Every structure is written in C-alpha cells, then in structure tokens.
C-alpha cells in the first residue's frame, strides 16, 4: 500500500486546560460553543481547523495565517476563562480528504503528520496558558524575522515549570490592546474557582501577563493595576482562603517594578523615581502584612533568589522603606 504524499505546512496545536472537570460540570460547555462560533466567523479558506474534544488544531501553508489565527483564538480564550495551551511548528502534513472521514458507522480521524506531532510536543513543554513558538522560526531569514521581540513575542522563563522543561520559552503575545483587559480577568477569587486544580498554571499565566504589563504599559495603567491588585487581595483575602503559593505573584510584581525603575521608565513621570518605587513596594509589603501573608512572601522571595540567582530580597532591602517593620 502506497503511503500518501506529505506536504509541509504550519500547525498550531491547542489543548483546552481543565477540560475534563470543567466540561463535565457544565462550566465550559457554553464557552466551547462560543469558541466554535468565533472560529466559524473567521471563514478563511486557507486555514483548516480540527476541533475534537479538548484539542484544537489549526493548519495552513501560510505562517502568518496560522500565527494570527492562533493569537486570535488564544486571546478570545484567555478573556473568556477558556484557557488554552498551544504550540506552533512546521513540518510534513498528510493531505486531507474530508470525504473519507465518515464511512458507514465509523468516523476516522487521520494521522495528521510530523508537523502536528512537533506542535503537540512543543505545547506539552508548557506549564502556562500560552503559545510556544518553535525556535527554528527564529533562525536568520526564517518565518519570525518580521516579529518584534517584546511586542509580538517574548522569551519567558516560567516561575513554576514542568520538571525537565525549565528552559526559556518563546511565547507569542496576545492580540494588541488586550493586555490590561486580560490582567483584569485574573484576580484571585473567580480564577481560583476555575483553576483550583492546577494552581501552578494559574500562577504562571498571571505572572506572564503581569510581567508583560509592567514592562510595556504606561504609568497610569500600572498605577491602576497595582491599586486593583491590592484591593482584590484585601477583598478576597478576607473571605477566601488564598493558597500560599499564589503569593509568588507578588514576588513577580516587585521584581517587575524594580526592572521598570532600572530601565528608566520612572524618570518620565513627575517626582523622585526611587521614592515612587519605595512607595509601591511599601504598599505591597504593608498589604501582605495586614493580610497575614508576609512571612510566606519572604520565604518565596528567598527561594526565588536561590533558584534563579537573582537579588530581589537584597533589592528590597536597599530601598528606603524599613524592611524590618514588616517582620
């Protein structure tokens, strides 16, 4: 029997996170139907879609179409608490004859090919709701040459990676203009209800967007984010038991603020940049202390510095705010 010819194509593979428990409970059913409708609206004849159970596959000969379709699906998902984890790769794909999928009482889903397996393996390295890009795309003259670092994609090191996959990932950023709205969907109570069975993915995902916001947003947006974050901690901390591991988020927030300060971004706003940083960090530490999370925070800062060879704890100590008051 002759093997069918193989053509190269670009493939995005997505896994719906928390599918089994949330779909059976009815939590995802309505969102899944809306996702199908959103995909139908795109109507691009150059893009092929497969949706089966908790898997979504996007295929095209054109890299930009797979990339932007994947970005659109991912952004929709993150805004609607329908979290997706994906990978984009390139490789051989088996030609598809849709007329042969159904035969009598059988539904035959074909082996899609090497490109599908590459995308699947890439997706499986992530412990975050995100889209990993194959590193080969970034070689000179390759497909990602037109993408801008920290605008279209970022190099990201997960705070809580899967064992054996601690390396830096290349992640596609969501659609432009969606960042602040995404962050506002991730505060504690509602997200913990949805993702309590996989806290690590929730933490990694929230931190990913926090880091991106603190690096790219204007000053008023950062101020609103910090105010809202602390208000949400006070609100939810008073009647919801927030798992201690979630406090890692505040390590990322302070590290992001310190990076923002060192980059000179604070120099563009009125007032003393260092005093402004001290105020922000002091407010965070004060709120953590009031809510009873400060000892946990200190433990995580020290653990984080040891694991990543960073100096966040020392950096906090160098600020004028009296660190000893918070012990």
Q: What is the pLDDT of residues 90-110, one digit of tens each?
A: 888 766 555 555 555 555 555
The DSSP code for 30 is: H
pTM for this model (two decimals): 0.84
Mean pLDDT (whole number) for 26-55: 76
Q: Any idea which of 44-58, 80-94, 97-111, 144-158 has the lowest mean pLDDT?
A: 97-111
Q: SS3 for 46?
A: coil
Q: What is the pLDDT of residues 260-271, one digit of tens each?
A: 999 988 877 787
Give the pLDDT band of residue 86 (cuts 50, 70, 90): very high
Mean pLDDT (whole number) for 72-95: 87
Question: Looking at residue 45, what is its pLDDT?
Answer: 81
Q: Are 196 and 207 in contact (CB under 8 A)?
A: no
Q: What is the pLDDT of residues 110-121, one digit of tens each?
A: 556 788 889 999
Is the pLDDT at 63 greater than 50, yes or no?
Answer: yes
Mean pLDDT (whole number) for 136-151: 75
As a whole number, the mean pLDDT across the chain is 82
How far apart are alpha carbons 194 and 125 in whole angstroms? 22
Higher pLDDT, 237 or 105: 237
The architecture of the domain spanning 1-176 is 2-Layer Sandwich (3.30)
Question: Looking at residue 5, what is its pLDDT?
Answer: 47
Is the pLDDT at 14 greater than 70, yes or no?
Answer: yes
Mean pLDDT (whole number) for 133-138: 84
Mean pLDDT (whole number) for 152-163: 90
Return the ∠ at Cα 13 (arms to 122 and 77), rounded to 5°: 110
Give the pLDDT band of residue 1 (cuts 50, 70, 90): very low
Contacts of 157 (CB under 8 A, 6+ apart): 166, 167, 168, 169, 308
Higher pLDDT, 248 or 4: 248
Mean pLDDT (whole number) for 208-213: 91
């Amino acid at each position: 029997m002759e093997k069918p010819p193989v053509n190269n194509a670009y493939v995005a593979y997505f896994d719906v996170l928390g599918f089994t428990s949330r779909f059976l409970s009815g939590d995802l059913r309505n969102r899944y139907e809306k996702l199908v409708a959103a995909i139908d609206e795109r109507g691009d004849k150059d893009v092929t879609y497969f949706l089966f159970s908790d898997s979504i596959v996007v295929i095209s000969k054109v890299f930009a179409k797979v990339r932007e379709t994947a970005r659109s699906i991912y952004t929709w998902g993150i805004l609607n608490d329908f979290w997706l984890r994906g990978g984009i790769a390139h490789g051989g794909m088996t030609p598809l004859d849709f007329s042969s999928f159904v035969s009598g009482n059988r539904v035959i889903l074909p082996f899609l090919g090497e490109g599908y397996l590459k995308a699947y393996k890439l997706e499986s390295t992530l412990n975050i709701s995100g889209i990993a890009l194959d590193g080969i795309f970034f070689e000179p003259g390759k497909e990602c040459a037109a993408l801008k670092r920290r605008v279209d994609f970022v190099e990201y090191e997960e705070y809580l990676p899967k064992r054996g996959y601690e390396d830096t990932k290349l992640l596609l950023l969501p659609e432009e203009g969606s960042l602040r709205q995404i962050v506002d969907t991730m505060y504690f109570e509602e997200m913990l209800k949805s993702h309590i069975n996989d806290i690590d993915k929730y933490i990694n995902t929230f931190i990913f967007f926090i880091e991106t916001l603190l690096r790219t947003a204007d000053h008023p947006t950062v101020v609103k984010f910090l105010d809202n974050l602390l208000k949400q901690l006070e609100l939810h901390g008073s009647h919801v038991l927030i798992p201690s591991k979630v406090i890692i988020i505040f390590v990322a927030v302070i590290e992001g603020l310190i990076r923002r300060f060192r980059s000179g971004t604070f120099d563009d706003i009125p007032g003393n940049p260092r005093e402004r940083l001290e105020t922000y960090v002091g407010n965070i530490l004060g709120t953590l202390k009031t809510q009873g999370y400060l000892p946990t925070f200190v433990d995580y800062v020290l653990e984080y510095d040891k694991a990543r060879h960073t100096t966040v704890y020392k950096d906090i100590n160098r600020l004028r705010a009296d660190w000893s008051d918070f012990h």
